[in-house]
Structure 1
Amino acid sequence: MRSNIDYSLYLVTDRDVLVDTDIYTDVEEAIKGGVTLVQIREKNMGTLEFYNFALKLKIITDKYKVPMIINDRLDIAQAIGAAGVHLGQRDMPADIARRILGDNKIIGVSTETLKQAQKAERQGADYVGVGAMFHTTTKDDASAVTINCLKEIKEGISIPVVAIGGISEKNVSLLRPANIDGIAVISAILGKKSVKIAAEKLGILIKL
């Protein structure tokens, strides 16, 4: 397990939420504001477009030594030398992904229950993403997970737990009782006029 990864402020990309700017500028500004890990999540791109897009973003993440994770696409992750992949419940099993990618890559798995989280850990995942915690407009099929369930997952596995889904400055403090390892956000950073300031504010709030 790669224990030196900082999951505290985890940015997931979505070009649809940007405010009068471009994704490359925003990702760089978000990293300057304190983002510790970036996941490229683009569902509506062909393979060549995704490859070129991720390659260009990796130049930025590499510049700041921030790990880049690719959502779902192991082929893209391998092609650009990404730090790892993030898998959903309907994607490739984590143990198969581990066999393909090897021991040095980060593998994350989306979960909603303790059972799913424990299975991900058994299959060799490095961390789990748990959510959606709150209502979110960026993922239509996400169901709500309670704070108690999040706490149960955190206490029931030994790998890092990252909360995701509708997290913002207004509700992030509600996650504190679960003692999680980080939060993953989209709109709370990329949907703001100044992504750097938004990242800085979230960074302060998760440390309080």
Structure 2
Amino acid sequence: MSVRNKLDISAYFVVGPENTKGRPVVPIIQDAVEGGFTCLQIRSKTVSARELIQLTHRASEVIAQAGKSDTVALLVDDRLDVVLAARKQGIKVDGIHVGQSDIPVEVCREYLGDDSIVGLSARTHELFEYIKTADVSQIDYFGAGPLHETKTKPDCGLNLDGKVITRSFDDIAKLAKLSPIPVVVGGGVKLADIPQLAETGVDGFFVVSAVSEADNPKLEAAKLVDTWKSHTPLKR
């Protein structure tokens, strides 16, 4: 059975070499997986395709060594070429996450097949109308946010007028109700946000720096996951 059939986006970690304060990425990925994260996205706008493939390979090995290849999804941000090249080399990659201005989801689906996960960043502009009317037949989940402005992705939540729109917990609760598919929310999310975020009814949270820049990434990952679980008893 493919990971797509039992996709768990409750604890979603996004990471690349530019997010770790100069520390090696792979041990931090290992910390996140061991800390209980259920979905991993490799994202970098600075390294070469070859480096991304290598990092994806190492991440896949970390997940396999933890015995979680069937339960922890491994995705690559934006780079369909990297996913295809990695698979050609026999690396287990479960899918891709794309933004509204990246490769169209139907192209990703055509090349990656029905067993793959395709995630899409929800449109900031006219968000609620978009969520209600979007064709979700090709995608598995929406990524939404930001909850707070974030230096990790300064263009997250950028509106047509160039201003960043952050989302209140009320907005997020409304989003959870309207969306026909699962929603994962991030953007500057910290441990203190998790209880309230869990109560909005969304399917998960995503973080970058809360784990990748933590002094003890494994401890921070476990705290985030445990706090989420303790505030979403119906989804545990």
TM-score by length of 1: 0.91
Which consecutive residues of structure 1, in runs of 5 or more, have no partner in the other structure?
Answer: none
Residue from 138, 151, 171 that aligns with 1:137: 151
Q: Secondary structure of 1:39's match?
A: strand
Query: Taking every aligned residue pair, what percent have the same amino acid on both sides?
Result: 28
Q: Distance in 2 between matches of 1:91 and 1:120?
A: 16
> Structure 1 stretch 143-152 or stretch 192-201: which is displaced more?
143-152
**One-letter amino acid of the counterpart of residue 99, structure 2:** G
Q: Distance in 2 between matches of 1:99 and 1:138?
A: 31
| Closer/same/farther in 2, CA of residues 119 and 94 from structure 1, 3 Å limit | farther
| Closer/same/farther in 2, CA of residues 49 and 15 from structure 1, 3 Å limit | closer
Which consecutive residues of structure 2, in runs of 5 or more, have no partner in the other structure?
Answer: 88-92, 158-165, 232-236
> Equivalent residues in 2 for 1:20-99 (5 A)?
21-64=23-66, 65=69, 66-81=72-87, 82-99=93-110
**One-letter amino acid of the counterpart of residue 133, structure 1:** L
> Structure 1 stretch 35-44 or stretch 153-162: which is displaced more?
153-162
Residue from 135, 138, 149 that aligns with 1:124: 138
- Displacement of 1:21 in angstroms is 3.5
- Displacement of 1:120 in angstroms is 5.1
**Is the contact between residue 169 and residue 201 of structure 1 (CA under 8 Å) also seen in structure 2?**
yes
Q: Distance in 1 between matches of 2:102 and 2:194?
A: 28
**Highest relative contact order (Cα 8 Å, sep 6+), 1 or 2?**
1
**Is the contact between residue 19 and residue 192 of structure 1 (CA under 8 Å) also seen in structure 2?**
no
Q: Secondary structure of 1:2's match?
A: helix
Q: Secondary structure of 1:56's match?
A: helix
RMSD of aligned C-alpha atoms? 1.9
Q: How many residues align?
A: 208
**Is the contact between residue 94 and residue 123 of structure 1 (CA under 8 Å) also seen in structure 2?**
no
- Structure 1 position 198 matched with structure 2 position 204: no
- Displacement of 1:185 in angstroms is 0.4
- Displacement of 1:48 in angstroms is 1.9
